[in-house]
């Protein structure tokens, strides 16, 4: 069983910069020369890391507007953690935000769609998948990692702050907010992180299972050409009924997709 959900700051930077891009190439094969769209890019540490794999360009897409010096701030953060970002990052990285509906890109603009730990927060999954289908070249590939799925031990994303597994399946938002307020009282200085960012991320969880997501992928015109289940040893003694065994067991997934080509 993984104990800590959110690693400490230096490990967070290093895993997003090195491990996530390395795992992507290990799973998908080479992405050299690709124009990449990172759906739900967050801070963009991983976008910098993807440049190490000789991609042509990475465009991060997320919901929040950012200041024009965002890339420089991330580059500085990497340097503070002993990492030298690619010298040409200003030419090869871009950030765009949108309203969660229509991507600000033309049809077939990207070779490779990348998304890491974002889809469990996406409000309108079918709509976003159909936009991915539109902006991906017909022979393009999409790599989607989702972790953790909602019904699993860590599915609340809150296990570092509230030691009650599966609370997302049994407790009200008010109960969760009260427990987080108790955590903040005991950890002064964590207020903005916990009651701002962490609680907001909790409220954004869409409750999807791997099966539900798979069904939406197929409906959006994708085929899954490779998949890997992420799991670990599980204590299911506190799993509330009627949660399905498979939903509790599949903690996360990595998937490589292509557009389904309709038979002639
Ligand atoms: C848990 S964060 C992951 C960020 C980043 N991928 C990482 O690994 O650190 C989830 C991100 O998905 C973004 N997100 C949620 N819904 C989205 C949508 N419809 N389109 C694009 N991004 C979305 C959130 O704003 C947030 O930045």
Q: What is the pLDDT of residue 206?
A: 98
Mean pLDDT value across residues 51-78: 97
Q: What is the pLDDT of residue 142?
A: 98
Task: Give pLDDT tens digits for 172-199.
Answer: 999 999 999 999 999 999 999 999 999 9
- The domains found in the chain, sorted by start residue, are 9-151+206-259 (3.40.50.150), 167-203 (no CATH)
3-state secondary structure (DSSP) of residue 155: coil
Q: Strand order of the sheet with strand 35-39?
A: 93-97, 57-62, 35-39, 110-116, 136-146, 252-259, 222-230
In the reported structure, the alpha carbon of residue 100 is separated from the centroid of ligand 1 by a whole-number distance in angstroms of 11
Provide residues with CB under 6 Å of ligand 1.
16, 39-42, 46, 61-63, 100, 116-118, 121-123, 128, 201
In the reported structure, the alpha carbon of residue 237 is separated from the centroid of ligand 1 by a whole-number distance in angstroms of 31
Looking at ligand 1, which residue's alpha carbon is closest to its atom 22? 40
Beta bridge partners of 223: 258
Task: Give pLDDT tens digits for 88-130.
Answer: 999 999 999 999 999 999 999 999 999 999 999 999 999 999 9
Q: What is the pLDDT of residue 185?
A: 97
Task: Give pLDDT tens digits for 239-263.
Answer: 999 899 999 999 999 999 999 976 5
Residue 229 is inside which H or E element, if any? strand 222-230
Selection from 164, 165, 252 nearest residue 209 by Cα: 252
pLDDT above 70: residue 164: yes
In the reported structure, the alpha carbon of residue 121 is separated from the centroid of ligand 1 by a whole-number distance in angstroms of 7
Structure tokens at 232: 């670990």
């Amino acid at each position: 069983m993984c104990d800590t959900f959110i690693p400490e700051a230096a490990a967070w930077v290093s895993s997003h910069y090195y491990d996530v891009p390395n795992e992507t190439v290990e799973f998908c094969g080479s992405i050299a020369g690709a124009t990449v769209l990172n759906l739900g890019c967050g801070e963009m540490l991983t976008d910098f890391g993807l440049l190490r794999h000789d991609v042509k360009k990475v465009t991060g897409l997320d919901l929040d507007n950012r200041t024009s010096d965002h890339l420089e701030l991330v580059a500085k953060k990497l340097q503070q953690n002993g990492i030298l970002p690619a010298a040409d990052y200003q030419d090869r990285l871009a950030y765009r935000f949108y309203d969660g509906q229509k991507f600000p890109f033309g049809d077939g603009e990207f070779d490779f769609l990348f998304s890491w730990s974002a889809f469990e927060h996406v409000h309108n999954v079918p709509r976003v998948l159909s936009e991915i289908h539109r902006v991906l070249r017909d022979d393009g590939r999409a790599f989607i990692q989702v972790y953790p799925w909602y019904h699993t031990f860590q599915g609340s994303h809150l296990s570092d702050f509230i030691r009650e597994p599966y609370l997302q399946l049994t407790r009200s938002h008010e109960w969760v907010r009260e427990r987080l307020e108790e955590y903040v009282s005991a950890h002064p200085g964590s207020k903005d992180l916990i009651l701002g960012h962490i609680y907001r991320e909790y409220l954004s969880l869409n409750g999807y299972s791997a099966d539900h997501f798979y069904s939406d992928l197929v409906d959006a015109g994708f085929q899954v050409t490779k998949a890997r289940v992420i799991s670990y040893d599980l204590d299911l003694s506190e799993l509330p009924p009627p949660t399905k065994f498979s939903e509790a067991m599949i903690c996360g997934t990595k998937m490589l997709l292509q557009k389904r080509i309709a038979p002639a």
